[in-house]
Copies of this chain bind each other. A is one copy, B any other.
Amino acid sequence: MIEGLKFREIDGERLIVAVVCDENKNVLMVAFMNEEALKKTLETGYMHYYSTSRKKLWKKGEESGNYQKLIKVYADCDKDCLLFIVKQHGNACHEGYYSCFHYKLENGKFVLTEEYYK
């Protein structure tokens, strides 16, 4: 695998945080990868993640058609987080929004908004 990457113990699995942005720098989603998910992503050029709830690898868009074509990969200084730039097909969020970040904190509560990525 890639030398120097630091996976953490997250919900009982060895995972690394994956931040996913489009080409316009909108943060689309954050998910986790195990080594296999990262390998599949780099091999196929399409984003794969590890689901902590279903406890298995999944290819983004496999069911929804909203797959993500990998463009570039960056890592942070600690090599414990990856930043993926992707071409998003359709919406990133399973709730039908372009980005998963469609809640904004206002007066102590999260309210629905799409202002961040509009």
A30 touches B25 (CB 8 A): no
A75 touches B110 (CB 8 A): yes
Query: In the bound complex, what is the Cα–Cα distance between A30 and B77 (angstroms)?
Result: 10
A1-43 CB mask vs B (1 if < 8 Å, else 0) is 0111000111110000101010011110110000000000010
Tell me if A108 counts as interface (CB < 8 A to partner B). Answer: yes
Tell me if A101 counts as interface (CB < 8 A to partner B). Answer: yes
Query: In the bound complex, what is the Cα–Cα distance between A10 and B95 (angstroms)?
Result: 26
B104 touches A77 (CB 8 A): no
Residues of A within 8 A of B (CB): 2-4, 8-12, 17, 19, 21, 24-27, 29-30, 42, 52, 72-79, 81, 83, 85, 93-95, 97, 100-105, 108-110, 113, 116
